[in-house]
Structure 1
Amino acid sequence: MEISAAGRLEVRITPADVGKRVSVRSLIEHPVPVEKFTDTVGVLTSWDNGVLLITRRGGERVRIAESALVAGKVVPAAPARRRGPSASYEELARVAARAWPPVESERLGHWELRAASGFTRRANSVLPLGEPDLPLDEALDAVRRWYGARGLPAYVQTATGAEGTQELLGAALEERGWVREVTAELWVGPLAPVADVAGPEEPPEVVLSREAGEDWLARYRRKGVGEAALRVLHGGPSVWFATVPGPSGPAAIGRCVVDGRWAGFAAVEVDPALRRRGLGTAVMAALARRALDEGASAAWLQVETDNAAARALYAGTGFTAHHAYHHYREPDSTGGPAGDETS
């Protein structure tokens, strides 16, 4: 907190600081007549009608009455992580988009409208990496028309814990009635430890292929994969599919896309009857070794916040969270993609 020369806490932020990262201390209500404070750090998303809206790193939005402020100041961006490669949000967003490409896309200024017949939100949502070439409300109307013409609900992907105006866009969408449906995280880590991680005492056979064959698709959790889905799965700069053969179908599968220094992992799935035997680790290690051979040095993956098993696996191989991302669905719309496609 900011302390004056006289030793008093001071509020040194104003509505002009919207969009900046701030740290504030505020009074909270307490059942006994004792002052109690809480500290909040995040992006100052808005300051309207005497209320501050602060978006924390994980996406949580905190509303604070201006009258409850005790102290506040602008603070530097979050410090660099001790582990994992350094990368900007925009770099990772573009790499992730290339690894999961839509069937068709169209530009709207610095927004990319993406569609793939409804196969996953990531391939059927707007990726905003800057401003559209229209005022926001007109841009959103254009987005709804574009997706409506394809029989799809409109989705916009935003992020928290990233530099730029992502948090501001998320708040603007919420003000207009857009509904946040999914929150997931993008994690990064060095690639070599993934290749070297210890697997089962008797390592299983891992078969690598350039195509997702019938056996791979039989283990993939999305059934009835159609032509559009196959185009997404096979899209990307250098795509590899891993399969661990089993007695009654694949025991485990995985997918990796190599793109320059980056290797992106997805669809790491294990037969429920064979879990906790290191098969998922073995799949990732085999894919990582192939990615190293192609010159990659850093790794990324996407995981939903409630997938505890996957998060434990990835944390054990050196991954850490980089930022969270969200999908906002247009107002007055139901249905749409069955879910986000994460690792």
Structure 2
Amino acid sequence: MEFTAGGRFEVRLTRADVGKRVSVRQLTGSGAGGEKFTDTVGVLTSWDGGVLLITRRTGESVRVPEAALVAGKVVPAAPARRRGPSASFEELAGVCARSWQPVESEPLGEWRLRAASGFTRRANSVLPLGDPGMELDEALTRVRRWYEERGLPPYVQAATGAEGTQERLCAELERRGWRPEVTAEVRIAALAPLGDRDADVSRVALGRGVDETWLRRYQRSGVPGPHVLHVLNSGPSVWFATVPGEPGEDGEPGVPAAIGRCVVDGRWAGFMAVEVDPACRRQGLATAVMTALARRALEEGASAAWLQVESDNEGARALYDAMGFALHHRYHHFRSP
């Protein structure tokens, strides 16, 4: 990382660069081995009170005191990814939202308040795609009131790590005491290679509606009420995949060995709720489910794939790495203090 001109460190940043992607170096100590430095790359989200706040792609906020700043400059946006389809944050955020629709929704300027009786944070959080039409503090007050009226904790879903994401909003939320509880990755890939995988899809049954058998494997809710069924069945073109398990003692269908869900929306196919019986893992069932769903999405004209995976789910991330899914951006659910 080059900061010098003629052997000298240079700070080529001003407060007018807030909102831009920057690279900075700060002095962190000195000793017998000489001075020690730390480099940080991210969006300059604020510069107040003698402290620069930089938000990295991961959503982590780094505080850099002016007194420790020895070099800094504006840098170009992150290079385009070399694999998978191209996609803007705005396009992908809209596709993701349409695939998991709340029971109740209300606009707040260009923000969208969403509620589904507490079933998943995605369906019970604010989607802030633009300007709320008022000062941030007033908007957050309205957010708190709206969710409190429904007996729900207030959440804001904000993204980092791609052009057009919301690093500055994340920093402002943290400044006001909101804290991220969960971070998830949005990943994308070309769809055709998924459909072309050599997977045994003969056991995978596809259907249009969620049924009682499928729900026996689904782990995201207890007894599913109407609000759960509403969210699961929402989306432009929804498909459910089931790999049957062992039948029950009465001969009726038992708990499925694996399940999955796919929503086709224009060129995009979104994969969700891919779950496998722990006793049946490492048998290729997750791959078979996704391959079967991908082939159906290709028949409907889709060409690109996306999915969401929590950042601490190492097993799922490894699977999706092997399938060719590349990170597009991350989103974080900030909860009101």
For the criterion TM > 0.5, the same-fold answer is yes
| Distance in 2 of aligned mates of 1:288 and 1:194 | 6
1:249 aligns with 2:255: yes
Partner Cα distance (2:209, 2:308) in 1: 21
Q: State the one-letter code of the partner of 1:216.
A: W
Other structure's SS at 1:40 match = strand
Aligned partners of 1:285 and 1:208: how far apart in 2? Answer: 12
The Cα shift of 1:224 comes to 1.1
- Deviations along 1:60-97, one digit per CA (max 9) or x if unpaired, are 11111112222111011111000011111111111000
Runs of 4+ displaced beyond 3 Å: 30-33
How far the C-alpha of 1:198 sits from its partner, in A, is: 2.8
For 1:337, the equivalent position in structure 2 comes to none
1:212 to 1:8, Cα distance in 2 relative to 1, 3 A: same
Counterpart in 1 of 2:206?
Answer: 208
SS of aligned partner of 2:34: coil
Q: Which amino acid aligns with 1:229?
A: V
What is the CA–CA distance in structure 2 between the aligned matches of 1:276 and 1:32, rounded to whole Å? 52
Q: Which runs of 5+ in 1 are unaligned?
A: 332-343
C-alpha separation between the residues in 1 aligned to 2:165 and 2:261?
31
Paired AA for residue 218 in structure 1: R
Contact 1:42 1:55 in 2 (8 A): yes
Corresponding position: 1:231 with 2:230: yes
Q: State the partner residue of 1:260.
A: 266
User: What is the CA-CA distance between 1:297 and the residue it aligns to?
Assistant: 0.3
**Separation in 1, partners of 2:193, 2:92:** 20
**Structure 2 CA distance, aligned partners of 1:316 and 1:174?**
35
List aligned pairs for 1:183-222, cutoff 5 A.
183-199=183-199, 203-221=201-219, 222=221
Question: Counterpart in 2 of 1:296?
Answer: 302
The size of the alignment, in residue pairs, is: 328
CA distance in 2, matches of 1:126, 1:259: 22
Name the structure 1 match of 2:157. 157
Describe how 1:1-343 pairs up with structure 2 within 5 A: 1-4=2-5, 6-32=6-32, 34-164=34-164, 166-199=166-199, 203-221=201-219, 222-247=221-246, 248-331=254-337
Give the superposition deviation at 1:31.
4.9
Cα distance in structure 2, aligned partners of 1:32 and 1:197: 57
AA at the equivalent of 1:214:
E
Deviation of the 1:204 alpha carbon: 4.5
TM-score (norm 1): 0.93
Cα offsets for 1:251-304 (capped at 9, x unmatched): 100000000000000000000000011000000000000000000000000000
Distance 1:249 1:40 in 2: 49
Amino acid at match of 1:83: R
Structure 2 gaps, min length 5: 247-253
What are the superposed Cα offsets for residues 145-176 of structure 1, whole Å, 9 maximum, x if unpaired? Answer: 11111111111000110333611111111111
**Structure 1 residues 194 and 227 mapped into 2: Cα distance closer, same or farther (>3 Å)?**
same
Q: Return the alpha-carbon distance in structure 2 between the equivalents of residues 59 and 138 of structure 1.
A: 24
One-letter amino acid of the structure 2 residue matched with residue 233 of structure 1: L
- Please report the TM-score for the alignment, with normalisation by the length of structure 2: 0.94
Identify the range of structure 1 (43-52 vs 291-300) with the bigger mean alpha-carbon deviation: 43-52
Q: Which amino acid aligns with 2:57?
A: R
Change (3 A) 1:58 1:95: same
State the 1:45 CA deviation.
1.2
**What's the Cα RMSD here?**
1.3
The 2-side partners of 1:164 and 1:321 are apart by: 15
CA contact (8 A) 1:187 1:323 kept: yes
Q: Quick one: percent identity of the two aligned structures?
A: 70
CA distance in 1, matches of 2:32, 2:239: 61
Residue identity matched to 2:215: L
Structure 1 residue 32 displacement after superposition: 3.5
Per the alignment, in what secondary structure is the counterpart of residue 8 of structure 2?
Answer: coil
1:211 partner letter: G
CA distance in 1, matches of 2:137, 2:33: 46
What is the alpha-carbon distance in structure 1 between the residues aligned to residue 273 and residue 243 of structure 2? 13
For the 8 Å contact 2:159–2:165, the answer to whether it is kept is no
> Equivalents in 1 of 2:126, 2:335: separation in Å?
10
Asked whether the equivalents of residues 201 and 291 of structure 2 are also in contact (C-alpha less than 8 Å), the reply is no
Q: Letter of the aligned partner of 1:312 in structure 2?
A: A
Secondary structure of 2:39 counterpart: strand
Shift, 1:15, TM fit: 1.5
The CA distance in 2 between the partners of 1:309 and 1:249, in whole Å, is: 22
Q: Distance in 2 between matches of 1:32 and 1:215?
A: 67
Q: 1:118, 1:210 → 2: CA distance?
A: 25
Secondary structure of the residue aligned to 1:29 is: strand
Please say if residues 2 and 12 of structure 1, whose CA atoms lie closer than 8 Å, have aligned partners that are also in contact. Answer: no
Offset, 1:3: 3.2
